[in-house]
Structures are given as structure tokens and as C-alpha cells.
Structure 1
């Protein structure tokens, strides 16, 4: 059962999303909040697996809310849900550990599948958002595998993380165990001085 918190300053949206998600047998909405500050506090008591977070809210916006949640409750994943295709918000939310960024205009079934994908360990971006993000971050300085002292296998794992594959999918494609893939990701995070797989994905798109 995937435990979810819904965060939005619009009560109608909170109620609508709650109805949609609770129709799924594998979802349980364990709380709702009207801003990032309430969401952080609620994570302490409800211990959700995933937070569905709006961006523009009073008191504390979704970007800062994401940062606080990821710092205090690293096991909790955050998916940003918004009407705004704002590059600055996309960049900041992902930098602070969001695992996905989708638009409220998407069909309900698409939102549901995104949440399931994030729960499996993938990073999911709505198509228009992904296009914008890729264009934005590919402007960074290019690097080579040699510059970073990465092995061929480490490079293959990094590339697949950037493509949004879960550890299980990487293991199957590279004929490794999931434990070995986790070890490679730990080594990559250490070598590149990064915090999580979302930052690995952004690093790859920016520098390769």
C-alpha cells in the first residue's frame, strides 16, 4: 500500500485528488495539507511514502516544502504537481530532491501511473516539462568519462539512471543484481559529490 499526502492550497483540488487516488487499491491518502509547512509537519506524523506537492502556495511554497521534506524524511518521495511550466521551479524542485514533475492538466490515469513509477524508483517528468528541462540543463559544460574517472560499467549505470530506469530495470539490462546496482549508484554519488539519483540524472544531462 502506497501512503500518500496531497498538498495544495485549493481545497477542491485536494478533495478531487483524494477521490481519484483512493479509487486505486494500492493507494491510501493518509493526509492533506494546504501549504509546504503543513506538509512537513504532517510527514512527521503520517510517515507517507510519497507527497504530491503543489508549487505556488502561501506560507511555504512547494519548492521549499520539498527541500524540507527531503532533508528531514529522506525516505519520502515528492512529486511536484502544478499548472505552471516554469523552468526555474522545475530546476529548483529537482535540485532539492523531487522525483517527478507533472502538470494538473494531465489525465487522472496519467497522474496515477506517474505515482506508481516514482514509487518504483523512477524519476518522471511530464513530456513538455522534460523537453524544457533537457534544453535548459544541456547548456552546462560538457565532460568526459575520463575526466570523471568513471569505469565503463559506472558510466552505463549513470546513463540508465538519467533515462529514468529503476534499479531493477538497470539490473536486468546490465545482467547485474539489484544490490550491485545500488553499490554502483553509491559509488557514483560519492565520486560526483551528489546527494541522490535525481541529481545523478541532472548531472548526466547537463554534462554529457
Structure 2
């Protein structure tokens, strides 16, 4: 039985090209197409493919938002992200959400099919060329998580306020503590997260999603 695929991509030529490529050998059938994230989610209410081939850059809802919606709803549909983005941050976000596979649009057709068959069989598939960057980023993320866990609740509050640009006096007024106490907290924070100034502390907070931009 052919594997049922849905393609979600805002470029019609890419959808047509993928459909022709995937259906060449008869082991894959494209059963639906979507041109944006909202269209994709609407069509998934009446269509249940085995695999959703999902682009990241789409109007109305992007691919990561679609992925989040599907995983939050405990959907059984396997999701393979097919994207031009080789930045590891996109891959990290997709992995955090629970993507089943992730490959780049410049991949060979054989690798695309391998990814599809792998995730249908219950395996995860990340394009091999992306794995070293992912591993490096995961190590960095784990290191940061350890630093965050070392902060007290009050230090975490102070860090978040520093990251949005507050001065010590403003932090003190916001938290109803003395400016001297704030200075002590800032000194401890810098040591624990291994930074030397407020800008680096702000970058740390932003990188770890401690504040919303």
C-alpha cells in the first residue's frame, strides 16, 4: 500500500515538483496539498495522510506553528519538515516541539524518500549533515539549563529585569528591595551564568527564552 503524503508549501511549483518526484515509483501517493498553515490545518480535519511534508516559511501560520498545533493535539500524523533553513535554531525548535524528521530542500530525492520511509517506520530522521551542529547546540543548551537551575528565584527575577534594560535602581523599585541587594544579586548572577556584563546577561536570557521580545 502506498504511503499517503500531504505537502504544505506556499510555492505551487515546489508542490508540483515534489508530487511528480514522489509519485514516480508508485510507493508514495500525494493525497492533498496546502498553500499555507491555516489551509494545512483545515485540510487535515478531513484528510489523514501518513506523513505531512511541511515547509517552515508559510503565510498565516508558519510550519513550526502547524507542527506545534499537531503535536499538542496528539495527532498520529508523522511530520517531516522540508526547508531551506539550515540554521540550527530552526532545527532545535522543531526537535523541541517533537518533529519526526527534518531535511533541507537541497537534499537528493533518495534522501527525501529515505526520510519518509524512516519516519513511517517509527524512526526519527535528521539530515546527517545537520547532526553535528544539532549535537553542539544541545550540549550548549544543557549547559545553559544547568546555569539557570543554579539561580535562585529572586536572581531569576533580577536577570529577567536586567534583560529588558532596567537599571539597578529600577529593579530595586520593581522588586521592593534595596539597590545594594540588587547589586549583590547581579554579581551572583554574572558568576553563575559566566558573563561579565549586562549585555551578555541579556543575550543569555534571550537565548534561553527567559523573556519575550
**TM-score > 0.5 by shorter chain:** yes
Instruction: Determine if contact 1:114/1:124 at 8 Å carries over to the other structure.
Output: yes
Q: Matches of 1:70 and 1:37 in 2, distance apart?
A: 16
Q: Matches of 1:65 and 1:77 in 2, distance apart?
A: 12
Alignment length, in residue pairs? 142
Q: Matches of 2:72 and 2:29 in 1, distance apart?
A: 23
Q: Matches of 1:29 and 1:56 in 2, distance apart?
A: 21
Distance apart, 1:93 and its partner CA: 1.2
Instruction: Determine if contact 1:7/1:53 at 8 Å carries over to the other structure.
Output: yes
Q: Matches of 2:93 and 2:47 in 1, distance apart?
A: 25
Larger Rg: 2
Runs (5+) with no aligned partner, structure 2? 145-213
Task: Tell me the equivalent position of 2:122.
Answer: 121
Q: Matches of 1:132 and 1:61 in 2, distance apart?
A: 23
Distance apart, 1:25 and its partner CA: 2.1
Runs (5+) with no aligned partner, structure 1? 143-208
Confirm whether residue 110 of structure 1 aligns to residue 105 of structure 2: no
Q: Matches of 2:49 and 2:37 in 1, distance apart?
A: 14
Q: For residues 108-134 of structure 1, what are the alpha-carbon distances to aligned partners after superposition, in whole Å with 9 as ceiling and x for unaligned?
A: 111011100110111111122212111
Q: Matches of 1:33 and 1:82 in 2, distance apart?
A: 15
Distance apart, 1:12 and its partner CA: 0.5
Task: Tell me the equivalent position of 2:75.
Answer: 74
Confirm whether residue 43 of structure 1 aligns to residue 44 of structure 2: yes
Q: For residues 123-160 of structure 1, what are the alpha-carbon distances to aligned partners after superposition, in whole Å with 9 as ceiling and x for unaligned?
A: 11112221211110022159xxxxxxxxxxxxxxxxxx
Instruction: Determine if contact 1:50/1:119 at 8 Å carries over to the other structure.
Output: yes
Higher relative contact order, structure no. (Cα contacts within 8 Å, ≥ 6 residues apart): 1
Task: Tell me the equivalent position of 2:148.
Answer: none
TM-score where L is the length of structure 2 = 0.63
Task: Tell me the equivalent position of 1:95.
Answer: 96
Runs of 4+ in 1 over 2 A off after TM superposition: 70-73
Q: For residues 69-124 of structure 1, what are the alpha-carbon distances to aligned partners after superposition, in whole Å with 9 as ceiling and x for unaligned?
A: 22335210101101111222111112212111100101111101110011011111
